[in-house]
Amino acid sequence: MPQTIFSADLTRSNVNLFLTSGIMHHPPKTYFIRTYGCQMNELDTEVMAGQLQKRGIVPTDQEESADLLIFNTCSIRDLAERKVMGKLGQLGRRKKRGLIGVTGCMAMAKKEALFRKFPHLDFVLGTNNISDLGTVLDEVLYTQKQVFKTEDVYEENLDYLAAKREHSIKAHVSIIRGCDKFCTYCVVPYTRGQEVSRSAQDIIEECKQLTDRGYKEITLLGQNVNSYGKDRPEWQCLFHDLLAQIDQIPGIGRIRFMTSHPIDITYELMQAIRDLPSLCEFVHFPIQAGSSRILKKMHRIYTKEQYLDKVTLLRKTVPNISLGTDIIVGFPTETESEFEETYELMNQIRYSVAFIYAYSARKGTPAMRWKDDVPEEIKETRLQKLLELQDKIAKEERGSFLGHTVEVLVERLNKDQIHLKGRTRCWKKVIFKGPSSLVGTLQTVLIEGSSHQTLVGNLHQM
């Protein structure tokens, strides 16, 4: 097993050359980052790409031959981890390979144990240490040893302004990292640490720069954006205050946010959605389960009734609001009738978007102490039932758009190379025919049909 060091332990005066994987590594010229999981990971990838490009390392789309290969990983469910493990295992069998690093949630969940399983790995960098990527790379190259840095608390401000953005029309802006909610099934509080808000000044500066560079849509990101500012009461700037400031930026396009915990969705936020012109009428409002007993066991800190009351208030305040949700089926001890409550609730609320998952037991979470007692076949049946229901609801919703006009932000040419593709304010995908010069503009589209999950229309002639 190759020797492993903490980056903090590096003693440059006494380096013994110990090859991490039998391969002598040279400074990389090209990099490839494979990203798994959520938008937070996508943004971290963009920030890492910015740091690498500042060092003159250029991106390549040839994963196989990249001098530096980074896996920015996800731990949320077992399948997400297995995909990366499979890939890492395959790489170990290659005779020729560049530097290999693991970042993201798996880096935090497994830390240096990853080196035992994958001796050919060169570095492991945690979610709170993205800003140390350059130093860690230097350490690996200088010592030719495996290096890991996985601190539990996020402290260092990231250079978001240098991020290399994937898109040119829409961008993610981080406003808070980490999560303090500790839902019993979830690894995020352990892999991303406690909540740390970013200063409003930095956020506004980044939003201004993006707007000046022509970005038309900004999604404010956090595991729970509604907690914004609660860790820094002296700032006297909560989420709705921040939104009001961002809305004032001259020329700002659309603003979205992702994701929310229902308990922190306040009336002030609902009013902000109603009153601020830039803020889109879509809220991701994850219920997770329809039974109050299961919600309690999940430590969601609301009952079904409290959740429904908030939905009623939100719909009363913003009548044209669209809702999204996340749902977990087969949580330990979930009975058939409790599952039926989730089904009924989905039928009643009629979400526009629902991400539905089968429960996956995660090491280190409180739910691990309960037996994962809902058989996999039953989880699968429940999952399919909800997917079918959601499919039906979404189809009916798409039907309700027929003959109506919607405002579309044109994001790009569609894959078929014929249509343009964009989204409505309420996050519905729309395609329509038009010249590519319309990319980045707002267009009014008359909806005439739908295909798969997408509305199909034509440019509305006024």
DSSP state of 279: B
CB of 192 to ligand SF4, least distance (A): 8
In the complex with ligand SF4, which residue's Cβ is closer, 193 or 440? 193
CA distances from 338 to 293, 303, 334, 414 (A): 8, 13, 6, 41
Cα–Cα distance measured from residue 168 to residue 211, given in angstroms and rounded to the nearest whole number: 11
DSSP state of 445: E
In the complex with ligand 5AD, which residue's Cβ is closer, 308 or 361? 361
CA distances from 211 to 44, 171, 261, 389 (A): 20, 10, 28, 39
Cα–Cα distance measured from residue 192 to residue 83, given in angstroms and rounded to the nearest whole number: 20
CB of 344 to ligand 5AD, least distance (A): 19
CB of 351 to ligand SF4, least distance (A): 17
Per partner kind, with CB cut-offs from 5 to 8 A, the member of ligand SF4, ligand 5AD, none near residue 179 is: ligand SF4
In the complex with ligand SF4, which residue's Cβ is closer, 140 or 269? 269
Please name every residue paired with 67 in a beta bridge, in sequence order, or none if there are none: none
Per partner kind, with CB cut-offs from 5 to 8 A, the member of ligand SF4, ligand 5AD, none near residue 76 is: ligand 5AD
Per partner kind, with CB cut-offs from 5 to 8 A, the member of ligand 5AD, ligand SF4, none near residue 359 is: ligand 5AD
Interaction of residue 179 with ligand SF4, rule CB under 6 A: yes
In the complex with ligand 5AD, which residue's Cβ is closer, 21 or 259? 259
In the complex with ligand SF4, which residue's Cβ is closer, 223 or 450? 223
Per partner kind, with CB cut-offs from 5 to 8 A, the member of ligand 5AD, ligand SF4, none near residue 118 is: none
Q: Which of 28, 37, 98, 189 binds ligand SF4 (CB under 6 A)?
A: 189
CB of 317 to ligand 5AD, least distance (A): 24
In the complex with ligand 5AD, which residue's Cβ is closer, 143 or 288? 288
* DSSP per-residue string spanning 51-79: HHHHTT-EE-S-GGG-SEEEEEE--SSHH
In the complex with ligand SF4, which residue's Cβ is closer, 205 or 326? 326
Cα–Cα distance measured from residue 326 to residue 241, given in angstroms and rounded to the nearest whole number: 26
| Segment interacting with ligand SF4, rule: CB under 6 A, options 45-53, 185-193, 195-203, 432-440 | 185-193
Cα–Cα distance measured from residue 151 to residue 128, given in angstroms and rounded to the nearest whole number: 6
Q: Where on the chain is the footprint of ligand 5AD (CB under 6 A)?
A: 76-77, 185-186, 286, 288, 326, 328, 357, 359-360, 362
In the complex with ligand 5AD, which residue's Cβ is closer, 7 or 342? 342
The DSSP H or E segment spanning 102 is strand 99-104
CB of 143 to ligand 5AD, least distance (A): 37
Q: Binding residues for ligand SF4, how many (CB under 6 A)? A: 10
Query: Tokens 């009428």 identify what position?
Result: 281
Interaction of residue 37 with ligand SF4, rule CB under 6 A: no
Q: Among 278, 161, 164, 268, which Cα is nearest to 212's? A: 161
Answer for the pair 257, 225: CB distance below 8 angstroms, yes or no: yes
CB of 364 to ligand SF4, least distance (A): 12
In the complex with ligand SF4, which residue's Cβ is closer, 109 or 455? 109
The DSSP H or E segment spanning 413 is strand 405-413
Cα–Cα distance measured from residue 355 to residue 429, given in angstroms and rounded to the nearest whole number: 16
In the complex with ligand SF4, which residue's Cβ is closer, 146 or 224? 224
Interaction of residue 296 with ligand SF4, rule CB under 6 A: no
The token pair that represents 275 in the structure block: 């009153």
Interaction of residue 222 with ligand SF4, rule CB under 6 A: no
Interaction of residue 327 with ligand SF4, rule CB under 6 A: no
CB atoms within 10 A of CB 417: 7
> Could you give the strand order of the β-sheet that contains 217-221, starting from the edge strand earlier in sequence?
170-174, 217-221, 254-258
The token pair that represents 212 in the structure block: 């000046």
How big is the CA angle at 348 (ends 342 and 353), to the nearest 5 degrees?
75
- List binders of ligand SF4 among 77-136 (CB under 6 A): none
How big is the CA angle at 450 (ends 444 and 453), to the nearest 5 degrees?
105
The torsion angles phi and psi of 158, rounded to 5 degrees, stand at: -85, 150
CB of 188 to ligand 5AD, least distance (A): 7
Per partner kind, with CB cut-offs from 5 to 8 A, the member of ligand 5AD, ligand SF4, none near residue 51 is: none
CB of 184 to ligand 5AD, least distance (A): 9
CB atoms within 10 A of CB 56: 9
Q: Which of 127, 224, 291, 390 binds ligand SF4 (CB under 6 A)?
A: 224
Cα–Cα distance measured from residue 242 to residue 319, given in angstroms and rounded to the nearest whole number: 23
List residues near ligand SF4 by CB under 6 A: 179, 181-183, 186, 188-189, 223-224, 261
